[in-house]
Amino acid sequence: MANLALVTAMSAVTETSSDAESSTGFFGWLFGSDGFHAPTVDEFYPPALLFEGTLFEFNRIELARVIAAAVLILLVWLVVRNAKLVPGRGQGAFEFMLDFVRTQIVEQVMSKENAKRFLPFLTTLFFAILAFNLTGVIPLINIAGTSLIGLPIIMAIWVYVLYLGVGVKQHGLGGYLKLSLFPAGVPKGIYVLLTPIEFLQVFILRPATLALRLAANMMAGHLLLVLCFAATQYFFFEAAGFMKSMGAVTFAAGFAFTLFEIFVAALQAYVFVMLSSVYINMAIEEEH
Amino acid sequence: MTLLNQLVVAAEETHGESSANPLIPAPYDILWSAVIFVIIVVVFMKVLLPKMQAVLDERAELIEGGLKKAEEAQSEAAAALEEYTAQLTEARAEAARIREDARAEATAIVSDSRTAASGDAQRIVETAHKQIEAERQQAIVSLRTEVGALATELASRIVGESLADDARQQRIIDSFLDDLESQVDSKQKAEG
C-alpha cells in the first residue's frame, strides 16, 4: 500500500510540481501546496529557535524533548504526590508500568538482589525513552525526541559507563577484562578469533547498536509518517480527478502507521531497557 | 531499490544537497540531550521513585504485617485448642480414675460389710450353739440329779430297802439312765 502511494507520489511530483497554484493567508498555508515534498534527512535539522549557530542552538526537536521531559515529570509527580496505600486509577496505571519494568524486563534478566540495585535507573530509562518516543505521534509536536541521535547516544553512553563500571567494581579491572575478552571454556587457539570480536562487542558494538537501533527506528517512523501525510496533503489539495481519491489510501496508511509508531515507541523502550539489563547482568555475573 | 533511488533523487532535486549525516550528533544535540536526560534521571531517582517506593514498601509491610498477625492468631488459636484438648483429656482421665476408685471402694465396702456380716452371723450362731449346748448340759446335769434322786426315792420306796452305798447306788442309776436313754433313742428312731 505504501509502495503504491510512493509510486503515484513520484509520478505526481514530476507532472504537477511546476504548475502549483499559489495560495495566500492561513488557509492557503494550511491547505495550499507548492508541490509534493518527499521528506528528507533535513527533517531532523529544523531551523533553530534560539541561539542559532552556537553550542546552545535550540530547535524544534530540543523543544519536543523539553516538553516530553516536563510532561513526564509532571505526570509522575502528580501520581506520586497523591500516592496512597490503596491506589486510584492513575496510580494503578503507573504502578502497573513500574511492575512491568520490574517483573517483565529486569527480573527476567537478573537476580532479585541485582534487580533491586539497578531498578531505579532502568525504570527511569524506560519512562524517559517512552516519553521521548511518544512525542513522535503527538499532534503539534510530531517528532520523537529520540529521533535525533544525540539523546540515544547520551543514554547509551550512560548504560555503557554503568556496565563497565559495575563490571570493574565487581571483578577488578583485570578480572573484568579477562572475563569479557577471554570467555572461559574455549580452546586457547580460538582466542585469536574470539578476543577481537568480544572486544568489539563489549566496547563498541553494544553501546553503538543501542543508540543506533533506537534513533534509526524513530527516524524511520517519522519519515514514514511525514511521507504518508505529505502525500495525503498533496493528493487532496493538488492532484486532479482520480488522483484525489489516492489521498484516502495514503491517509489510511498514515493512520495505520501512527498506531504502529505508538507500538514501536513502547517496543523500543522495552528493547533498550531489556538490552541494558542484559549488559549490566553480563558485567556482574561470573559466567555468561 | 530503484524506487528508493528514485525517491532519493527526487528528494535531492526538491531540497538540494543534504548537508548532515544523521548518525553524527551535532554538538548542541549532545548538550541539550545530556541536560534533559540528567534532569529526568535526577528527578526520577532522587525524588519520584523513592517516594513511590516508600508507598509501595509501606503497602507491602502492611500486607505482610496483616499476614503475620493472622498467622500469629492462628497459631495462638491452635495452641489454645491443643491446651483445651489436653485439659479435656486429662479431665476425662481423672473422671474415669475417680469413677474406678469409687467402684473399687464400693466393692471393698460391700465385701467388707459382707465379711463382717457373715462373721457376725457366724459368731451369733456359734454363741447360740454354745449357749444351747451349755443349757443342754445344764439340763442334762440337773435332770440327771433330779431324775436320779426321784428314781432312787421311788425305787427305795418300791423295794423298801435303803440303798446306802452311794457308789453302788450311782452305778445302778447310771445303768438305768443309760438304758432309759437308749430306749428313748430307739423310740425316737422308730418314730423318726
* Whether the Cβ atoms of residue B52 and residue A80 lie closer than 8 Å to each other: yes
Grid cell, residue B90, equals 486429662
Q: In a mutagenesis test of the A interface, which of B48, B56, B58 is the best target, namely the one with the most A β-carbons within 10 Å?
A: B48
Task: Specify the pLDDT at position A68.
Answer: 94
Alpha carbon A20 to chain centroid distance?
36
pLDDT score, position A18: 38
pTM over 0.90: no
Distance from CA of A46 to the nearest CA of B (A): 12
How many residues are there in chain A? 288
Which of A121, A151, A159 to probe the B interface (max B CBs under 10 A)? Answer: A151
Could you identify the residue written with the cell 418300791? B158
Residue B113 belongs to domain spanning: 25-120
Distance of CA B78 to the CA centre of its chain: 23
- Boundaries of domain holding A223: 60-284
Q: Report ipTM for this prediction.
A: 0.80
Assess if residue B7 is contained within a domain.
no
* Bigger pLDDT: B34 vs A27: B34
3-state secondary structure of A48: strand
Listed by number, the residues of chain A in 131-160 with a beta carbon closer than 8 Å to a beta carbon of chain B are 145, 148-151, 153-155, 158
Residue B24 burial (CB < 10 Å; 0-12/13-18/19+)?
exposed
Q: Which residues pair with A59 in a beta bridge?
A: A48
Q: How far is A172 from chain B (nearest CA, A)?
A: 27
Written as nine digits, the cell of A118 is: 539497578
- List, in order, residues 6 or more apart from B50 with CB less than 8 Å away: A120
Secondary structure class of A268 (helix, strand, coil): helix
> How do residues A128-137 score in pLDDT, each as one tens digit?
999 999 999 9
- CA angle at residue A187 from A183 to A193, to 5 degrees? 70
pLDDT at B128 over 80: yes
In a domain, B33, yes or no: yes
Q: Name the DSSP class of A20.
A: P
Q: Which residues lie closer than 8 Å to A201 by C-beta, 6 or more apart?
A: none
Q: A120 is written with which cell numbers?
A: 531505579
User: Three cell numbers at B132?
Assistant: 444351747
Over residues B54-73, the mean pLDDT reads 91
Buried b (16+ CB within 10 A) or exposed e, B123-149: eeeeeeeeeeeeeeeeeeeeeeeebbe
pLDDT tens digits, one per residue of A63-108: 999 999 999 999 999 999 888 888 888 899 999 999 999 999 999 9
What pLDDT score was predicted for residue A221?
93
pLDDT at B57 exceeding the cut of 60: yes
* Residue B14 falls inside a structural domain: no
The pLDDT of residue A20 is: 40
pLDDT band at residue B192 under the 50/70/90 scheme: low
SS3 state of residue A180 = helix
- Position B15 scores a pLDDT of 47
Number of independent structural domains in chain B = 1
Q: Is A155 exposed, middle or buried, given 0-12, 13-18 or 19+ CB atoms closer than 10 A?
A: buried
Does the distance separating the beta carbons of A54 and B15 come in below 8 Å? Answer: no
* Alpha carbon of B73: minimum distance to chain A alpha carbons (Å): 24
Q: Given A51, A57, A73, which is nearest B43 (Cβ)? A: A73
Domain count, chain A: 1
Burial code (b: 16+ CB inside 10 Å, e: under 16) for B61-73 equals eeeeeeeeeeeee
Q: Does B60 touch chain A (CB under 8 A)?
A: no
Binning pLDDT at 50, 70 and 90, where does residue B148 land?
confident
Query: Best mutation site among B7, B43, B51 for testing chain A: the one with the most A CBs within 10 Å?
Result: B7
For chain A, the average pLDDT equals: 85
**pLDDT of A25:** 67
pLDDT at B6: 55
Residue A40 has pLDDT above 60, yes or no: yes
Residue A167 lies in a domain: yes
Of A31, A30, A33, A7, residue with least CA distance to A20 = A33
In a domain, B70, yes or no: yes
Q: A198-221 pLDDT, tens per residue? A: 999 999 999 999 999 999 999 999
| pLDDT above 90 for B157 | no
Average the pLDDT over A19-42 and give the result.
Answer: 63
Q: Please check the confidence at residue A112 and state whether its pLDDT lies above 70.
A: yes
- Give B11-50 as a DSSP string: HHHHH------TTSPPHHHHHHHHHHHHHHHHIIIIIIHH
